[in-house]
Amino acid sequence: MVKRQSALASVYHRGMYGRPGEPGIRLQEVAGLNLAQVAAWPDNLEPAAKDVAQAIGADKAPGPGYAVSTEQGTVLRVEALKWWLLDCGLPTLDSETTVSLDLSHSRTRILVSGPEASVCLNRLLPLDLRPDRFGVDKVANAGIHHVGVTLWHSDAGYELFIPRGFAVSLWELLVETSEQFGLEIV
Amino acid sequence: MTAQRLRKGGHIDRTRPLTFRWDGTSMSGYAGDSLASALMANGEQILGRSFKYHRPRGIMSAGVEESGALVTVGQGAKQDANVRATTQPLYEGLIARGQNAWPSVRLDFGAINSLFGRFFAAGFYYKTFMGLPPFEWGRGTGMWMRYEKIIRKAAGMGTASREPDPDRYEHAHGYCDLLIVGSGPAGRAAAHCAAKAGCDVILVEQDAALGGDTLSQPGNTSTLQGELSALRACGVRLMTSTTAFGLYDNGVAGLLERVTDHLADSPSWLPRQRFWTVRARATLIAAGALERHIAFGDNDRPGVMTVNAGRTYLNRFAIQAGENIVIATNNDSAYTTASDLADSGASVTMLDSRHEISRSLQSQCDAAGIGIKLEAAPMKALGGKAVSGLTAAIRKGNSWRTDGNIDCDLLLVSGGWSPVVNLLSHRGIKPVWNPELACFLAPASDEPIVAAGSAAGVWDDSACRASGEKAALEALELIRNPAHRAAAQTPGDWECPIDPLYEVRPVKQKLKSFVDPQHDVTTDDIRLAHHEGFVSVEHLKRYTTLGMATDQGKMGNIIGIALMADALGKEIPQVGTTTFRPPYTPVSIGALKGRNVGPHFRPLRRTPMHDWNLDAGGTMTMAGLWHRPWFFARSGETISEAYVREAETVRRTVGLCDVTSLGKIAIQGPDATELLNRVYSNPFAKLPIGKTRYGIMLRDDGLVMDDGTTWRLAENEYFMTTTTAHAAKVMAFLEELLQTRWTDLKVHLTSVSEQWAGVAVAGPLSREVLAACVEQPTRVADETLPFMGVVETTMREGIPARIARISFSGERAFEVYVPSDFGPAVMQSLWDAARPMDGCLYGLEALGALRIEKGHVTGAELDGRVTIEDAGLGRMASDKKTYVGSALRKRPEMVRKNRPRLVGIFPKDRREIFNAGSILCAADNIAGYGEGWITAVTHSPALGHWIGLGFIKGGHEAWQGQDVVCADPVRKGNTSVEIVSPHMYDPQGERMYG
């Protein structure tokens, strides 16, 4: 199959930018997004949650605003009735209780890491990112420049899921904002 | 005023001298100086000219309340007007100049205004130039509008740059348990107390240095530095050069951080200013208090300033502002400054309006050799461009009598203190007058906001610290227990009460006594306002401009209110106070906008084929937030030539168009069919799998919301397309229906607009192009993919695709959707197939031409005023089911026969051109709103002349054979037109269905 083309293809330039010295921010596009959505309804949430957990070999599916990761993938609870499954493909689920959807091309996934990551993100989005409020495995939907984005605090840093069409616009803002902390585009 | 820099002391760094320019002259100062202190140390006395009278103005304070030293900093595009020299940190290479003066603030020809000062009272311009001959005559306000232009040119202070702002700004969001405003003794004590209790604290300080009033006290800095280190060690986040300019709902505070305003060469990666939105669980206001002036004759003369300013310049900036100093006061606070100044070697005389002072103050003055005159006050400041003395007044009963002249080179004034209650006022908390302290104090709030220190009327340093700690404990309790009601602080700790003196006004003496020097408002202006019938303090403020603009009532509000109360024969509480509104100090527009400027004014939305389109020669245009190809001009082609060629090519061979921007919604679930059947006006219950249907969606009121196609992919799965313009609206509407009205329906909606890249392949050869690009050409053959058919198949190289045979152009056409990352590859593949067939790429302009020829509606027609019948689609609406809008679309007005209906429009003379937006009128009655309007026009390549779409009463049947004029009075004039069917090309659809 032909290679996928990233939304950032024309603007993604690796290197060091802004304040000299050790970079406070690292930006990295996690290319080749593999994202599936599973949705259920209130009366069958429990069996659906079991199926979702099973899809990545987890004991339990995450509650609202949280993520669970295993070696097989990650599940983010992005809405009360919706999960996002990362890196494990479109699962085969009971079609009576759930619906699923491939969204792998709908978002651009950017990893924001480095010691100033939360400070930098708070220059763009209104989320309380203090460690005791938004620790590892927290998930939230928020907005950058009026564009809805999803944020997941993974072990690697903060992972932003940006609607593909807005990716270049928000990437430019991210880069511009990050330069004051010293930026490395990985 | 003979100011001199002291050899030691202060919080300046003498090892870091700085050079700057003032009005073209090179001067020097030290790191830690403000521009005002550096100018004072260089002997500069006149730093500005007043607003109306162009009177010389010097430094009046040492902080944000400054009304005299308003200057312009920077030059060119970086010119910043009306900067308070008292708050501008000095930096190497700073360039500043005086403003509102020509040729300079020292010699200003505008000072001639002063000679006519008695005419320039409140309301002068309106009284003189509005409605009164000989200045104004005739009807209306025409002449006034002319005068106003000239008056506006003469008004104002500094001039802003007309160049684009080259600086960057940004927004930031902060979160904390407790936000403390002010780093003075109370703020620091509160921060330490709260942080030690485990509270997450942000402490903001508007000054470049932390410390607040402590910086104005004598002594070394080590104690203060130790306190600040302790705060940092407790995890308190300290922010300097940051003003809390406003308090809003739910603990939200607006802060402005001046990031590089103190830097000579700021790095390109730093923003100039940062606009913070801080969300705190509780807020503690320790913003201090502002010292007031007293109104007396010529009290604006350079060399007259507040007592505390004299102390700040002495102890913080190591400048003795005068050698022979008179201090006029009505309260105890001035005596500390008197001692400090006397200790520095200055000669100090006190004029105290009270009839007695405490023994300790008397002893303090005796020990320092300070002379005191009780029941005395300045009546008039003497001197030319700077103060050289004063005429004293002595109280006799209820009036003041002249009591000789006193020489001095500096006159310090303290008329009492006004706690900074502005932020509390922003929350609607009405300050209450405290007659003992002669100031407004904020009562306890229902919100988690507490005040401490002098902001709560506590004056003494150690009492302020205690007040800070007490307020911190209250704040902690408010965080733990939102139902808790914080107790107000116990204010005041002066030994002798303040004398509520606001004006020294001797009998039968005419003086120019300023209340608000920034706006040249005098005591006479206040009395004039009362004389002319103004009784509300809010009206007084607007009539006289007292406390307006950047001052926001800091300097003269209390004096103005007191004088108004006096004129009305009322007490101050009966007159009330004005409402302080954000921002506390000015916020630049750049900071409000942050990074959302230039290309980021709006977030731009790009299709996956954006770069491909550009590489192919596309010129882009905006469609909502989307960048879409507008046209693909060949070398030398104009836009008109390009789109006509593109449209013609589509009708002749084949064309490709990026249609990714269409809204796309996945509708899934066992009740998906039921949902669609309820929202679409036409039947959807029996749409077979593998078929698509054009649908019209109405609003609740029966008017058309949007149109589009919906594809049935599986029993419980649909793929809905919407117009580009209405994608978000339709999605939100459907979600609202599911979440509020039809909560029983098991349906999930997901926007998949970004998941799928879309290409329209249109024209007689479209199937051949498509067949060349799919892995199994039979999947797109007529038999397997008839008109309105849908297939899910695979493009070459294994790219999954969903394809429908639908047409917006009126030709045989297909919409091809592939996962977005494959969009460019599929576009290239289709183009490789289409180009040898003499195909073309076409943009929005040709798309418009093709759809107008066919009479297909878009957002231009479906503008929220149109019924389904108006759009000519009434036959689609079902009478056998109920759906959103089905009841209200049958209201009498909605079914009226002569409503404007969609029509086509030809020019009678086929060579004529006419414009969209024109009004359609009967030829014999070209007037008013006419009979209809034109929504879209184009040159029709198929018909060979201009055509249009629009609406006219009764539709085209009602206007057959009648003379109609397209009236366009502003642009083109009148054009005779013919009203025709909207289906102007291939009305039977033979090309589309064939």
Regarding beta strands B945-953 and B932-940, do their DSSP bridges make them parallel or antiparallel, or are they unpaired? antiparallel
- pLDDT on residue B136: 63
Average pLDDT (B394-403) is 92
Contact B584/B244 with Cβ under 8 angstroms? Answer: yes
Examine the domain organization and report whether A95 and A45 are in the same domain: yes
- Whether A123 shows a pLDDT value over 90: the answer reads yes
Examine the domain organization and report whether B706 and B800 are in the same domain: no
Chain B residues whose beta carbon lies within 8 Å of the beta carbon of residue A177 = 170, 595
Work out the burial of residue B192: count CB atoms within 10 Å of its CB; fewer than 13 is exposed, 13-18 middle, 19 or more buried. Answer: buried
The 3-state DSSP class for residue B328 equals strand
- Within an 8 Å CB–CB cutoff, is residue B667 touching chain A? no
Q: Which residues pair with B371 in a beta bridge?
A: B349
Averaged confidence pLDDT in chain B: 94
User: Is the residue at A160 inside a domain?
Assistant: yes
Examine the domain organization and report whether B441 and B566 are in the same domain: no
Examine the domain organization and report whether B297 and B282 are in the same domain: no
- Whether B413 shows a pLDDT value over 70: the answer reads yes
User: Is the residue at B604 inside a domain?
Assistant: no
pLDDT digit string, tens, across residues B352-379: 999 999 999 999 999 999 999 999 999 9
Examine the domain organization and report whether A111 and A175 are in the same domain: yes
User: Is the residue at A123 inside a domain?
Assistant: yes
Minimum CA–CA partner of B757 in chain A? A105
Whether a cis peptide bond, with omega within 30° of 0, leads into B134 is yes
State the smallest CA–CA distance between residue B589 and chain A in angstroms: 17
The amino acid sitting at B297 is G
User: Is the residue at A98 inside a domain?
Assistant: yes
Examine the domain organization and report whether A114 and A170 are in the same domain: yes
Examine the domain organization and report whether A48 and A117 are in the same domain: no
Q: B751, B767, B791: which is the final residue of a domain?
A: B751
Contact B172/B274 with Cβ under 8 angstroms? Answer: yes
User: Is the residue at A97 inside a domain?
Assistant: yes
Average pLDDT (B757-764) is 98
- pLDDT on residue B337: 97
Q: How far apart are CA B147 and CA B142, in angstroms?
A: 9
Examine the domain organization and report whether A160 and A121 are in the same domain: yes
User: Shortest CB distance from B170 goes to which of A106, A126, A177?
Assistant: A177
- pLDDT on residue B139: 65
Q: How far apart are CA A175 and CA A127, in angstroms?
A: 19
Contact B603 A169 (CB under 8 A): yes
How far does Cα B847 stand from its chain's mean position?
38
Query: What are the C-alpha distances in Å from B153 to residues B129, B150, B157?
Result: 15, 5, 10
Examine the domain organization and report whether B625 and B714 are in the same domain: no
Q: A51, A83, A102: which is the final residue of a domain?
A: A102
The amino acid sitting at B969 is P
Query: Residue B739 carries which DSSP code?
Result: I
Average pLDDT (B502-531) is 92
Contact B277 A126 (CB under 8 A): yes
Choose, out of A102, A106, A128, A150, the residue to mutate when testing the contact with B (most B CBs < 10 Å).
Answer: A106
Q: How far apart are CA B688 and CA B862, in angstroms?
A: 28
User: What would the two tokens of residue B781 be?
Assistant: 């053959």
Examine the domain organization and report whether B180 and B257 are in the same domain: yes
- Within an 8 Å CB–CB cutoff, is residue A101 touching chain B? yes
Examine the domain organization and report whether B6 and B117 are in the same domain: yes
Contact A146 B605 (CB under 8 A): no
Regarding beta strands B655-658 and B840-841, do their DSSP bridges make them parallel or antiparallel, or are they unpaired? parallel
Average pLDDT (B276-304) is 97
- Please identify among residues 10-39 of chain A the ones whose CB lies closer than 8 Å to any CB of chain B: 10, 17-19, 37, 39
- pLDDT on residue B78: 93
Phi-psi region of B851 (alpha: psi -120 to 50; beta: other; left: phi over 0): alpha
Examine the domain organization and report whether B833 and B906 are in the same domain: no
Contact A102/A90 with Cβ under 8 angstroms? Answer: yes
Phi-psi region of B42 (alpha: psi -120 to 50; beta: other; left: phi over 0): alpha
Q: Which residues pair with B396 in a beta bridge?
A: B399
Regarding beta strands B169-181 and A82-86, do their DSSP bridges make them parallel or antiparallel, or are they unpaired? unpaired
A20-45 as b/e: b if 16+ CB within 10 A: eeebbbbbbbbeebbbbbbbbbeebe
Which pLDDT band holds residue B130 (cuts at 50, 70, 90)?
confident
Average pLDDT (A76-88) is 96
User: Is the residue at B596 inside a domain?
Assistant: no
What residues make up the domain containing B624? 610-633+641-661+755-849
Examine the domain organization and report whether B218 and B252 are in the same domain: yes
- The residue to which tokens 């209650």 are assigned: B421
- Whether B140 shows a pLDDT value over 70: the answer reads no
pLDDT digit string, tens, across residues A24-74: 999 999 999 999 999 999 999 999 999 999 999 999 999 999 999 999 999
pLDDT digit string, tens, across residues B421-470: 999 999 999 999 999 999 999 898 899 999 999 999 999 999 999 999 99
- Please identify among residues 802-841 of chain B the ones whose CB lies closer than 8 Å to any CB of chain A: 819-825
Window from B19-23, B554-558, B809-813, B847-851 with minimum mean pLDDT: B554-558
How far does Cα B606 stand from its chain's mean position?
27
- pLDDT on residue B131: 67
Contact B9/B340 with Cβ under 8 angstroms? Answer: no
Chain A residues whose beta carbon lies within 8 Å of the beta carbon of residue B739 = none
- Whether B133 shows a pLDDT value over 70: the answer reads no
Average pLDDT (B312-336) is 97
- For helices B639-652 and B844-854, the axis angle rounded to 10 degrees is 60
The 3-state secondary structure of chain A reads CCCCCCCCCCCCCCEEECCCCCCCEEEEECCCCCEEEEECCHHHHHHHHHHHHHHCCCCCCCCCCEEEEECCEEEEEEECCEEEEECCCCCCCCCCCCEEEECCCCEEEEEEECCCHHHHHCCCCCCCCCCCCCCCCEEEEEEECCEEEEEEEECCEEEEEEEHHHHHHHHHHHHHHHHHHCEEEC
Which pLDDT band holds residue B132 (cuts at 50, 70, 90)?
low
pLDDT digit string, tens, across residues B901-910: 999 999 999 9
- pLDDT on residue B138: 65
What residues make up the domain containing A167? 15-32+106-185
Q: Let me know the angle formed at the C-alpha of B265 by B260 and B271, rounded to the nearest 5 degrees.
A: 35
Q: What percent of chain B has pLDDT over 90?
A: 85
Domains held by chain A: number: 2
Q: B799, B825, B849: which is the final residue of a domain?
A: B849
Q: What percent of chain A has pLDDT over 70?
A: 99
User: Is the residue at B877 inside a domain?
Assistant: no
- Within an 8 Å CB–CB cutoff, is residue B739 touching chain A? no
Average pLDDT (B236-247) is 98
The 3-state DSSP class for residue B22 equals strand
| Sign of the dihedral through C-alpha B256, B257, B259, B263 | positive
Q: B751, B777, B794: which is the final residue of a domain?
A: B751
Examine the domain organization and report whether A110 and A126 are in the same domain: yes
The phi and psi torsions of B540 (rounded to 5 degrees) equal -55, -45
Chain A residues whose beta carbon lies within 8 Å of the beta carbon of residue B666 = 101
Examine the domain organization and report whether B30 and B130 are in the same domain: yes
User: Is the residue at B864 inside a domain?
Assistant: no
Q: How far apart are CA B706 and CA B404, in angstroms?
A: 85
Query: What are the C-alpha distances in Å from B335 to residues B186, B410, B412, B869, B978?
Result: 21, 16, 11, 85, 91
- pLDDT on residue B385: 86
- Whether B135 shows a pLDDT value over 70: the answer reads no
Window from A68-77, B133-142, B284-293, B426-435 with minimum mean pLDDT: B133-142
Reported as half-sphere exposure (CB side, CA atoms, 13 A), residue B767 has a value of 20
Query: What are the C-alpha distances in Å from B818 to residues A35, B798, B799?
Result: 16, 11, 7
Domain of residue B792, CATH code? 3.30.1360.120
Choose, out of B168, B169, B170, B173, the residue to mutate when testing the contact with A (most A CBs < 10 Å).
Answer: B173
User: Shortest CB distance from A99 goes to which of B270, B669, B754?
Assistant: B669
pLDDT digit string, tens, across residues B720-737: 999 998 999 999 999 999
- Within an 8 Å CB–CB cutoff, is residue A165 touching chain B? yes
User: What would the two tokens of residue B777 be?
Assistant: 């050409």
User: Is the residue at A42 inside a domain?
Assistant: yes
Q: Which residues contact B279 (CB under 8 A, 6 or more apart)?
A: A128, B173, B174, B175, B176, B250, B251, B252, B253
- pLDDT on residue B431: 92
Q: How far apart are CA B994 and CA B80, in angstroms?
A: 68
Query: Residue B296 carries which DSSP code?
Result: -
Examine the domain organization and report whether A110 and A98 are in the same domain: no
The phi and psi torsions of A185 (rounded to 5 degrees) equal -95, 115
Examine the domain organization and report whether A27 and A76 are in the same domain: no
User: Is the residue at A2 inside a domain?
Assistant: no
User: Which one has a higher pLDDT value, B806 or B158?
Assistant: B806
- The residue to which tokens 């921060």 are assigned: B191
Q: How far apart are CA B377 and CA B403, in angstroms?
A: 9
Examine the domain organization and report whether A28 and A115 are in the same domain: yes
Average pLDDT (B749-773) is 98
Examine the domain organization and report whether B280 and B421 are in the same domain: yes
Contact B750 A101 (CB under 8 A): yes
The amino acid sitting at B470 is K
Contact B930/B921 with Cβ under 8 angstroms? Answer: yes
> Strand locations in B700-755, DSSP E?
704-714, 717-722, 748-751
User: Is the residue at B856 inside a domain?
Assistant: no
User: Is the residue at B38 inside a domain?
Assistant: yes
Domain of residue B742, CATH code? 3.30.70.1400
Examine the domain organization and report whether A78 and A115 are in the same domain: no
Q: How many CB atoms neighbour CB B196 within 10 A?
A: 15
Q: How far apart are CA B806 and CA B435, in angstroms?
A: 80
pLDDT digit string, tens, across residues B935-974: 999 999 999 999 999 999 999 999 998 999 999 999 889 9
- Whether B978 shows a pLDDT value over 80: the answer reads yes
Q: Which residues contact B483 (CB under 8 A, 6 or more apart)?
A: none
Q: How far apart are CA B2 and CA B24, in angstroms?
A: 22
User: Is the residue at A4 inside a domain?
Assistant: no
- pLDDT on residue B1: 62
User: What would the two tokens of residue B568 be?
Assistant: 């009305």
Examine the domain organization and report whether A92 and A57 are in the same domain: yes
Reported as half-sphere exposure (CB side, CA atoms, 13 A), residue B726 has a value of 23
Domain of residue A122, CATH code? 3.30.1360.120
The amino acid sitting at A89 is G
Domains held by chain B: number: 7
Examine the domain organization and report whether A66 and A22 are in the same domain: no
Q: How far apart are CA B720 and CA B713, in angstroms?
A: 10
Which pLDDT band holds residue B792 (cuts at 50, 70, 90)?
very high
Examine the domain organization and report whether B102 and B175 are in the same domain: no
- Within an 8 Å CB–CB cutoff, is residue A70 touching chain B? no
Q: How far apart are CA B52 and CA B938, in angstroms?
A: 58
Which pLDDT band holds residue B92 (cuts at 50, 70, 90)?
very high
Q: How many CB atoms neighbour CB B595 within 10 A?
A: 18
User: Is the residue at B698 inside a domain?
Assistant: yes
User: Is the residue at B926 inside a domain?
Assistant: yes
Examine the domain organization and report whether B312 and B424 are in the same domain: no
User: Is the residue at A53 inside a domain?
Assistant: yes
Contact B754 A177 (CB under 8 A): no
- pLDDT on residue B102: 82
Work out the burial of residue B130: count CB atoms within 10 Å of its CB; fewer than 13 is exposed, 13-18 middle, 19 or more buried. Answer: middle
